[in-house]
Amino acid sequence: MSKELKKNIGFLAALSTVVGVVIGSGVFFKPQAIYTATNGAPGLGLIAWILGGLITIAGGLTATEVSAAIPKTGGMMVYIEEVYGKSLGFLTGWMQTVLFFPGTIAACAVIFAQQASELLGSTSDNMILVLPIAVGIILLTAFLNTIGSSFGGYIQTIATVGKLVPLVLIIIFGFIRGNSTSVFNPMVGSGVNTITTLGQVLVSTLFAYDGWINVGAIAGEMKNPGRDLPRAIVGGLSLVMAVYLAINIAYLWVVPASDLAMVTSPASLVATKIFGAIGGKVISIGILISVFGTLNGYLLTGPRVAYALSKDGLLPGSRMLIKVNKGSSPYNAIYLISILASIYALTGQFNLLSDLTVFAIWVFYVLTFIGVIMLRKSKPNLNRPYRVPLYPIIPLVAILGGGFVVINQLLTSPIISLGGIVITIIGFPIYKYRIKKNSQ
C-alpha cells in the first residue's frame, strides 16, 4: 500500500480549511483591548482589522512558497532549519513548545473561564472561580485528546458550528436592530499616539487572524496547488477579514466603542443588547463552544511539535515524550503542553498572554518571510510547486508589516517582549547540551 498522500483537495476544501483554521476566539474578545488602547475611539480599531488582514494575507502567500517547496512534517521549524540551520530550527520548535502553544492555550482557557463565570452569575475578575475553570478546561481537553486524534477531529467539527452561529446572528441582527452609533469617528481618543497605538491594536488583530501558517501543510495534498492555494489563501483570508469587519461594525452599530472597552466579552454585551438576557446567554454559550474548539485545535497540534523534537532526542525527557498510546496520541507530549499552559493560565491575563504569544511567533514568521527571499537566491533550482505572486512585493509587505508589529511591541511592551525573548533563548544552551549528549 502506498504511503504517499493523495492529491484530492480542491479549491473549495482548501478555502473552507483556511476559514475554519483562522476564525477563533480573538474576534469575540479582542475588541476590548483594541478600544481600550484607542481610548474608546472606533476608527483606528477598524483600520487595524483591515491592516491585520492584509499583513496576514501577504504572510500566508509568502510562507506557502516555502511550505510547498519543503513538504516535510514539522511546519515552520523545518522551514527555518532549511534556511538558517539546525540550531535556529530547534529554537523555533522550542519557542512553540514552551511558549506559543501553551501560552495560546492558556489565553483561550482564561477567556473561556471569564466568559463561563459571567454565565454562572459571577464576575469575570473573580479569580477564585476563573482560575480553577481555566486549569480544569485545559486538563479536560488534554484528557480528551489522549483518547485519540480522531476524537479531537470530532470536537473541531462541533466547534466550527459553534463559532459560526454567534457570528452570523450578531452580524445580521446587529445591523437590523442597531441604531448606528459612531462607527468610524473619532479615529483615536484624546492623549493617544496614533503610531504606537496602531502597533498595539495590530497585535490584537493578528492574534485573531493567527492560524494561517497551518494552511500551507495541505499543499502536498492539493490537486493543483500552484493555481488553487493562493486563491484559497487570498479568498479565505479575505472572507475572514470581511466577517471580522462586518461583526466589528455590527458591534459598533449596537454599542459605542467606549462601552466595548469596558467589558471582558464585547460580543456577549452586544448579544444581550440585541436578543435580551436569555438570548445573550445562548449566544455566549455558542462563543464558549468556539473558544473551546480553538483551545482544542492548539492542544491537538502543539504536542506534535514537542513530539517531533523528541524523536530527534532534542528535548529533555525525549524518551518519555515520544511515547504514543493506542489512539495514536503522543500522550506525554500532550500533558507537557497542558501543564505548561496551566501554569501560564494562573496569571489570569488573556490580553497579556495573547500579546506575548503574538510577539514570539511573529519574530519567527518574519524570519520565514525573509527565508523565502534567501531561498530564491541560494537555491534557485529548488522545485517550487507554488511561487508567491508579485514577488518580491508581497514578501516585502509581509516582512515590513510583521517587522513593524515586532519592533513596536519591543518599544511599547518591553517587559512582555523581553520575557518572550528570554524564554526562547533558554532553548539554545539546552540544544547544545542535548546535541553533545546525543553524540556521546
- Rounded Cα distance between 246 and 267, Å, is 13
386 lies in some domain: yes
Q: Give the CATH number for residue 45.
A: 1.20.1740.10
Total domain count for the chain?
A: 1
Confidence of residue 1 (pLDDT cuts 50, 70, 90): very low
Q: What DSSP line would sit under 275-304, residue for residue?
A: HHHHHHHHHHHHHHHHHHHHHHHHHHHHHH
Mean pLDDT rounded to a whole number for the chain: 87
Quick one: pLDDT at residue 117? 92
253 pLDDT more than 50 = yes
Q: Output DSSP code: residue 97.
A: I
Cis peptide before 71 (omega within 30 of 0): no
pLDDT at 439 over 90: no
C-alpha cell at 365: 514568521
Tell me how far apart the alpha carbons of residues 234 and 404 are, in angstroms, rounded to a whole number: 22
Residue 3 lies in a domain: no
Compute the average pLDDT of residues 249-271: 91
Provide the domain limits for residue 145.
Answer: 11-439
- Domain for residue 339, yes or no? yes
Query: For 243, how many CA atoms within 13 A lie in the half-sphere containing its CB?
Result: 24
Average pLDDT for residues 295-303, to the nearest whole number?
Answer: 84
In this predicted structure, the answer to whether residue 4 has a pLDDT above a threshold of 60 is: no
Amino acid identity, residue 411? L
Per residue in 389-420, pLDDT tens?
Answer: 899 999 999 999 999 999 999 999 999 999 99
In a domain? residue 2: no
Q: Residue 1: inside a domain, yes or no?
A: no
pLDDT of the residue at 3: 40
Q: For residue 232, tell me if it sits in a domain.
A: yes
Residue 329 has pLDDT above 90, yes or no: no
Find the Cα–Cα–Cα–Cα dihedral 422, 424, 425, 430, rounded to 10°.
Answer: 130
User: Is 113 within the bounds of a domain?
Assistant: yes
Grade residue 217 by pLDDT with cuts at 50, 70 and 90: low
CA atoms of 128 and 122, how far apart (whole Å): 10
Please state the rounded mean pLDDT for residues 122-133. 87
- For 114, residues 6+ apart whose C-beta sits below 8 A from its C-beta are 124, 125, 130, 264, 265, 350
Packing angle between helix 225-254 and helix 149-177, nearest 10 degrees?
50
pLDDT of residue 84: 94
Asked whether residue 425 is assigned to any structural domain, the reply reads yes
Helix (H, G, I), strand (E, B), or coil: what is residue 9?
Answer: strand
Is pLDDT of 251 > 70?
A: yes
Cα separation, 320 vs 408, whole angstroms: 40
pLDDT band, very low/low/confident/very high, at 45 (cuts 50, 70, 90): very high
Please state the pTM of the whole predicted model.
Answer: 0.90
Whether pLDDT at 92 is above 50: yes
Confidence of residue 46 (pLDDT cuts 50, 70, 90): very high
